[in-house]
Structure 1
Amino acid sequence: MTKSLTKFAGRMLLVGCGNMAGAMLDRWLAAGLDPASVAIVDPFAAPRAGISHHASLAEWKEAGGSADWIMLGMKPQQLGEVADDLASSMAGGVHLLSILAGVSLADLAQRFPDARAQVRILPNLAARIGAGVSAVASLGDADEAAVTSLLKPLGTVVALADDSTMDLVTAFTGSGPAFVFRLIESYAAAGERLGLAADDALKLAIATFGGSTALLADSGEKPGTLIAQVASKGGTTQAGLDVLDSDGQLAALLTNVLRAARDRGRELADIARGEG
């Protein structure tokens, strides 16, 4: 990958560095971000060479910590625990980045009014290999070019006019990889139940899903067009599709999956605001 972040300016603080924030950080480092410009506040985060690591915000401040970019990467429920301590570090043109599910731009602006900009980012775990999707919306005077430069190494960037649909996007693309992994797992398990060896079933399932999505992305066609190229009237594919399409059950199931994830995001927002 290109070293697109070798000239990225500013010091960055990650408050929380779990799976998602850690995947983003590792990708940024691979893109040339200077580790000496990064600090992590997270007592459980894995150490990374050249990056200062702190167990708490108080410890970071005692070490003379300051930042131009602060990313919130902890659990949304923890926002109240860190907001007061962090708010005093927002003066002086700090960009606040947040990957917290359910926490709106309005919530961030209320908690951190002195930030130069509040930027809400919804990435997904495929950012780890540069194949993720990051939806982004902002308030304030955001340096959009700098924000985009941070997100491009993670994969596709989708800029939204506002964050009104972010709870759905969280479910759709943020939670989406887990749903896809479950589908692949279940597909492999079905093959195993019908007689395939477990390892063969999983290998075939991964290759089938991966190749199909790659073909769809490369072709520029609608899914239905490619379905028609595989299925023939009265054939084996159509027999399986008839089961998938029966009574709209698949569409209803996926709608319910997304609705449950979206609604949980809203509940988390209430908890973060102290209303849950």
Structure 2
Amino acid sequence: MATMILLAGCGNMGFAMLEGWIQAGRIEPPEVTVIEPNDPLRERAQKLGVDAVASPDQIAEDVAPRLVIFAVKPQVMRDVVPAYRRFAASGATFLSIAAGIPIAMFEELLGGEASVIRCMPNTPAAIGKGMMVTATNANVTRDAEEFASELLAANGRVASVADESLMDAVTAVSGSGPAYVFHMIECLTAAGERAGLPRDTAGLLAMQTVYGAASLAAESAEEPGRLREQVTSPNGTTAAALAVLMGDDRLKNLMADAVEAARQRSVELGK
């Protein structure tokens, strides 16, 4: 079976995405070659049934992958990418999941004719509930984009933006967003403790409430604002709490400031 995918880097995110692709039947293990210099990580990947090597130099000359995926840290990307330039000539599409690295850098390192997809995933992709957002250059064919989207769909929802500059906002909202939600759970847990609940109970209530509310919002035909109104009785307990959160647009402004700080940092990382 021919190699269809080269996966450069198989750390936590790369491995989680690979595992999702295989489990969902999007790809067969023999169709994947992982390039991972770290011995334990390479051995972990091999347990999924894929071929795994320590260096791109070990890839046979006649290999012509359909997709080359870069799942390495942004700070080492410039050192890693050039070794894969030879696959541009055979028609491969290159997909990066590194935050902040612009398509222009890949075009510089792989050649201006290279087909490049930039993707911003988030950590829930590890359990198939992620948000993957893509941007492409003009060289990406419809077939290549559809193939990549079908693959990524095994890890959650997939969306695209036509303007690559919007990827900084994407990073700030969905890329970093899980951390905001985790902190919300931490804060709600601490508030429950302060109100007298045992820590374990407060933690369970906070986690399940966030999980249940997000699931309801995802499955409901109603807008989140309407769902909020439905659970808010006039002069009731929820209304009292929302008066604190929504008064003077406190939470709205705080979240806007947080997203803007993340967006600006994403812009800085891409320079």
Whether the TM-score (by the shorter chain) exceeds 0.5 is yes
- Corresponding residue for residue 199 of structure 1: 200
User: Is the contact made by 2:172 and 2:259 (CA closer than 8 Å) also made in structure 1?
Assistant: yes
Deviation at 1:35, TM superposition (A): 1.5
Where relative contact order (Cα < 8 A, 6+ residues apart) is larger, the structure is: 1
1:189-216 deviation per Cα after TM superposition (whole angstroms, max 9, x unaligned): 2112221111111111111111111222
Give the C-alpha shift of residue 100 in structure 1.
1.1
Q: Tell which deviates more after alignment, 107-116 or 233-242.
A: 107-116
Q: Deviations over 1:47-69 (max 9, x none)?
A: 222223333333x3479865331
2:163 partner SS: coil
- For the 8 Å contact 2:69–2:95, the answer to whether it is kept is yes
Q: Retained in 2: the 8 A contact 1:133–1:173?
A: yes
Moved more, 103-112 or 175-184: 103-112
Query: Structure 1 residue 16 and structure 2 residue 14: aligned?
Result: no
Q: Which residue of 2 aligns with 1:29?
A: 22
Residue 263 of structure 1 corresponds to 264
Q: Secondary structure at the match of 1:156?
A: strand
User: Which of residues 30, 33, 41 in structure 1 aligns to 2:35?
Assistant: 41
Other-structure match for 1:121: 119
Q: CA deviation at 1:42?
A: 2.4
Q: How does 1:212-223 map to 2 (within 5 A)?
A: 212-223=213-224
Moved more, 32-41 or 234-243: 32-41
What CA RMSD, in Å, does the superposition of the two structures yield over aligned residues?
2.2
Q: Is the 8 A contact 1:90 1:114 kept in 2?
A: no
* Residue 86 (structure 2) aligns with: 88
Structure 1 SS opposite 2:37? coil
Task: Quote the offset at 1:116 in angstroms.
Answer: 4.7
User: Could you tell me how far 1:130 is from its partner in structure 2?
Assistant: 2.1
In structure 2, what is the Cα distance between the partners aligned to 1:10 and 1:122?
24
Match of 2:236 in 1: 235
SS at match of 1:71: strand
Superposed displacement of residue 110, structure 1? 2.2
How many corresponding residue pairs? 262
Q: Percent identity?
A: 39
How many angstroms apart in 1 are the aligned matches of 2:265 and 2:36?
25
Q: Which runs of 5+ in 1 are unaligned?
A: 1-6, 271-276
1:105 corresponds to which letter in structure 2? I
SS of alignment partner, residue 158 of structure 1: strand
Question: Structure 1 residue 217: deviation in Å?
Answer: 1.9
Aligned to 1:245, the other structure's residue is in SS state helix
2:238 counterpart SS class: helix
Amino acid at match of 1:106: A
SS at match of 2:164: coil
| Partner SS, residue 165 of structure 2 | coil
Give the aligned residue type for 1:252: N
Change (3 A) 1:225 1:141: closer
Secondary structure, aligned partner of 2:270: helix
> 1:57 — aligned with what?
56
Which amino acid in structure 2 is aligned with residue 215 of structure 1? L
TM-superposition CA deviations, 1:152-195 (whole Å, max 9, x none): 21221112223120011012111111211111122112112221
Using the alignment, how far apart are the partners of 2:247 and 2:64 within structure 1?
58
What's the TM-score once normalised by structure 2's chain length?
0.88
Give the aligned residue type for 1:196: L
Report the TM-score when normalising by structure 1. 0.86
